[in-house]
Structure 1
């Protein structure tokens, strides 16, 4: 039977947890009444990452959102939301807020796998995870929910793994495998992070009992099954290239990225959403500052002891930072969503430091409280930015003119609202040359849209030049569109002979090219000899 003191402590803990979750929800309440933005238009509105609820099993046998990624859990989550909310965007945003709340609640349990924490330390950790500005993009952008899902499942994997090692119960072994599968099916990052965190747990906790053979069989089997299934569905191992950098530039640029993530972790202010990263070399002073900083961190770990609480926390931060260092090339190199997972390590470090303080604990609590207050206000204010693409990206491209994707979606926003002058302005700014930067490029799509605007506004020659320059380099999926628009531009320029040269001798799937070709032939006084049966050709364009 529990003592009155134990019951009182439980009540206090429950009240504290309730208050913390209330603070977190309040800080993120501004994220809910927003619309679809960014990649939501493709993944949600155009349903590239959504399936009918009766066909969600297809998520396991198809790539994610017509990409080279394999993330069935994200597609399933999107499909459930689509069933519940249809085109009502606030419902999807509510799901992201609830998923983030799940991360906050699980965080102290996960950290307890590696650290001996008091209730007070756990509460501080929950507040840091819940209110850190790294949550802004992950919670605010619906399509970033893979970060929320993989974080939840990674934490559950380690929680059940430790229980299975300590108690050897079959149900814990089973749930370890289920959680691991959930993490792997949410994002590829889990394939590396889970084994590394398990090795870390084994290194720091040598008294967790004998090796559980069933646990290792389940773990290895889950990973093998995932690898086989992924290779079956997405045979391409990875879809992003390394880029044309020297070895020195690769290393220096990654050191620069490490500095960016460290600043993001310690700052209570919002990071820019731009993914653009400057290519660095050894002559850049910032690289050497980061090297000195990392050397200082190494000295701290050495003096404190690798197995100390501080050493473990710093090592966890470095492990969780690794995916954001572009060691394996990713499409959006510098996107701030890579700062979300490492916040768990930061929360662990803060909790450990607060526990170590003998003097000045009150002052440390005040300083951390001020930091959290600033962070909470930052998070709350940022939520309003996700109303639409204009509110989301306009301020971002002003902060970073190398944010090409921001310009692209701003152009799309104005194009959709028929503000062609603004659309053209942002497309042209986005197409400006960016030297020595890595970023996710939307150049092809911006050129196509800009050509369409020029064609519509009477600048036929400008449109012709755009489409002519890209017709040989564009992919097969867009080539018919580009060639047809090239012919339209030639017609607007009055060059019907060029129209015939462009469209003649090709097989088309749609009737519009044939109609345009016929008009050009008639204008030239020539007999139309294009067989109508070509419209039904098995090799259309």
Structure 2
């Protein structure tokens, strides 16, 4: 081993300080980023398991449920701690992600500096990890806490493994297993870590290889196998596994191409997107020539690394990349993406190692290589810092994220849908209609394959037209959504409400009575039918439905206020006054409620 003592021969704290300063500078604007609508509600803001903070019920649920089609209890616990500390203010959650990213950066640097005795080269590898723009997705996306947390556990595992290699003992081996278990419970992508440790045995630890090295890692392989089984079951039960929708041949083809596309992102990290749609879903599968060309390139690079195996960093770095990418390369397809920037978070470390150490060797062979290498390193890191800072800005809010992502992947129906929803929430209904119409106008293979999204596009388009006041278009698209899925009660109920807004009270009544008959406990159906009865002057029937609705949703101010108005028309002044008071507590700013209270107060019986 190159690390005979626990202390490096030269001080490394100045390099560590530079790493911290550069990383904080690159991510300075992350404090101003909001939660985004993609997965953040599922993981944090709308997740009852997390939104209550750290509770015994939440802790138990974290270990016993597969929420969000994943089993990563330590990630859930970390989100709960954040809510306990910061509430639902996003800046604090971003701070935690950044601190985890910094901790992984420093552990990676410390491990390499101690084992290679090359602190500056180690610092460059750590800086590339800290500052590469593809890693912004893992750090700036609150829902990707699992990336930052699992990688920190992976770095801690590697650090503990170094200690075990220096002074083997059962206690140190148990420590390695404990850190590895933590990584698996944060995100199971680290299942490849036992193989990565075997690669590190070859370099930089320089331990003699053999079956003994494999045998000592068998407990880690067993933990990894158990994690794979649990993860597959959780993702399959959560509907995340898309194997049945995407045949094996397109999955294998995309996996080969994705390995090469990631290399392109490594070298030219621009036009990044939060979602790169799978070519099979967009109806544009990879050509045979593309797949064969990528396969030949991968084989050539692998053969080169083997041929130059005396340069151990090349074989280890390339092997690290190939092995650590396997869990997310898409042979087992999870989701609809062809690749994802967040998947590079751990695998790119291997490529950084290979590039930096090969560049170091080249500079050593050149006369003024040290100065040229230093200048090139500063220029590259400076450029990456600027690109990363710009990419962090893409995560400012949902609208910015989807607009920037669509500029890179305009063929993504999911991004058009998400941007349309973001526009709708912001009141930009023209923009929403444009995005939802784009999906339907380009209804190609992916909508044939996944027909529920055609229904979703019609429904969202109807909502936007309804809010805009174009009721005819709203009705047309609600009807198309219903034709695709008659069980869509949201569309059925909203259609009745649009009829009411058109003054077609009888049509609205028939539509909504059908909805309530089919699903008596459906809150929107109850409320909308109550609105129809109230508009028809049938206040007794309206009041009964408002009461049923409020037993399901007791915090909706308009329902309470409208119930009070029905009570008032029925002459139930005491009940009306009590309901108006309740409505005023829920919404103190409603002038109609305040006026009704002033009118009824002298008349109501005490």
Q: What TM-score do you get using the length of structure 1 for normalisation? A: 0.83
Equivalent residue runs for 1:117-266 within 5 Å: 118-191=118-191, 193-201=192-200, 206-207=207-208, 219=220, 222=223, 236=237, 239-242=240-243, 244-245=245-246, 247-266=248-267
Taking the aligned partners of 1:395 and 1:252, their CA distance within structure 2 comes to 27
The match for 2:339 is 334
Deviation of the 1:284 alpha carbon: 4.9
Q: Is the 8 A contact 2:75 2:145 kept in 1?
A: yes
Taking the aligned partners of 1:92 and 1:475, their CA distance within structure 2 comes to 41
Q: Is the 8 A contact 2:135 2:341 kept in 1?
A: no
Find the structure with the greater CA-based Rg.
2
Deviation of the 1:57 alpha carbon: 1.4
Deviation of the 1:10 alpha carbon: 3.8
The match for 2:34 is 35
Deviation of the 1:263 alpha carbon: 0.5
Instruction: Work out which of the residue numbers 339, 355, 372 in structure 2 matches 1:350.
Output: 355
Give 5+ residue unaligned stretches, structure 1: 1-5
The match for 2:563 is none
The match for 1:359 is 365
Q: 1:434 to 1:370 in 2, by over 3 A?
A: farther
> Is the aligned partner of 1:295 residue 2:271?
no
The match for 2:109 is 108
Moved over 6 A (4+): 212-215, 227-235, 437-442, 518-526, 532-537
Deviation of the 1:233 alpha carbon: 7.6
The match for 1:509 is 521
Q: Is the 8 A contact 2:526 2:546 kept in 1?
A: no
Taking the aligned partners of 1:340 and 1:221, their CA distance within structure 2 comes to 24
Q: 1:381 to 1:500 in 2, by over 3 A?
A: closer
Q: Is the 8 A contact 2:189 2:328 kept in 1?
A: no
The match for 1:389 is 398
Q: Is the 8 A contact 2:516 2:522 kept in 1?
A: no
1:70-112 CA distances to partner (integer Å, 9 max, x unpaired)? 1212211111111111132111111111111112111134557
1:93-132 CA distances to partner (integer Å, 9 max, x unpaired)? 111111111121111345579x745222211211111111
Taking the aligned partners of 2:314 and 2:486, their CA distance within structure 1 comes to 51
> Is the aligned partner of 1:454 residue 2:458?
no
Taking the aligned partners of 2:212 and 2:517, their CA distance within structure 1 comes to 70
- What SS class does the counterpart of residue 505 from structure 1 fall into? helix
RMSD (Å), alpha carbons: 4.2
Deviation of the 1:171 alpha carbon: 3.5
The match for 2:3 is none
- What SS class does the counterpart of residue 35 from structure 1 fall into? coil
Q: Is the 8 A contact 1:497 1:524 kept in 2?
A: no
Q: Is the 8 A contact 1:269 1:375 kept in 2?
A: no
Q: Is the 8 A contact 1:496 1:523 kept in 2?
A: no
- What SS class does the counterpart of residue 338 from structure 1 fall into? helix
Q: 1:240 to 1:466 in 2, by over 3 A?
A: farther
Deviation of the 1:293 alpha carbon: 1.9
The match for 2:65 is 63
> Is the aligned partner of 1:22 residue 2:21?
yes
1:150-188 CA distances to partner (integer Å, 9 max, x unpaired)? 111122223323433542334422322221121111112
Q: Is the 8 A contact 2:462 2:477 kept in 1?
A: yes
Between 1:367-376 and 1:514-523, the stretch displaced more is 514-523
Between 1 and 2, higher relative CO (CA 8 Å, sep ≥ 6) is seen in 1
Taking the aligned partners of 1:217 and 1:247, their CA distance within structure 2 comes to 30
> Is the aligned partner of 1:283 residue 2:294?
no
More helix by proportion, 1 or 2?
2
Taking the aligned partners of 1:410 and 1:283, their CA distance within structure 2 comes to 30
Q: 1:161 to 1:534 in 2, by over 3 A?
A: same
Equivalent residue runs for 1:462-473 within 5 Å: 462-471=473-482
The match for 2:585 is none
The match for 1:314 is 318
Q: 1:432 to 1:255 in 2, by over 3 A?
A: farther
Q: What TM-score do you get using the length of structure 2 for normalisation? A: 0.75
Q: Is the 8 A contact 1:496 1:524 kept in 2?
A: no
Q: 1:323 to 1:475 in 2, by over 3 A?
A: farther
Q: 1:359 to 1:522 in 2, by over 3 A?
A: closer
Q: Is the 8 A contact 1:242 1:329 kept in 2?
A: yes
Equivalent residue runs for 1:428-447 within 5 Å: 428-433=437-442, 435=444, 445-447=456-458
1:23-74 CA distances to partner (integer Å, 9 max, x unpaired)? 122111122222222332443222356242123413433435x421112122
1:351-402 CA distances to partner (integer Å, 9 max, x unpaired)? 3213433323333333333222211111112222222122222232233222
Deviation of the 1:350 alpha carbon: 2.1
Q: Is the 8 A contact 1:111 1:348 kept in 2?
A: no
> Is the aligned partner of 1:416 residue 2:422?
no
Q: 1:108 to 1:253 in 2, by over 3 A?
A: same
1:414-444 CA distances to partner (integer Å, 9 max, x unpaired)? 2222222222222323444364669999665
Aligned length: 528
Q: Is the 8 A contact 2:276 2:339 kept in 1?
A: yes
Taking the aligned partners of 2:320 and 2:22, their CA distance within structure 1 comes to 26
Taking the aligned partners of 2:325 and 2:251, their CA distance within structure 1 comes to 17
Deviation of the 1:482 alpha carbon: 2.9
Between 1:208-217 and 1:378-387, the stretch displaced more is 208-217
- What SS class does the counterpart of residue 61 from structure 1 fall into? helix
Q: Is the 8 A contact 1:487 1:502 kept in 2?
A: no
Q: Is the 8 A contact 2:198 2:213 kept in 1?
A: no
The match for 1:377 is 386
Q: Is the 8 A contact 1:165 1:212 kept in 2?
A: no
Q: Is the 8 A contact 2:279 2:285 kept in 1?
A: no
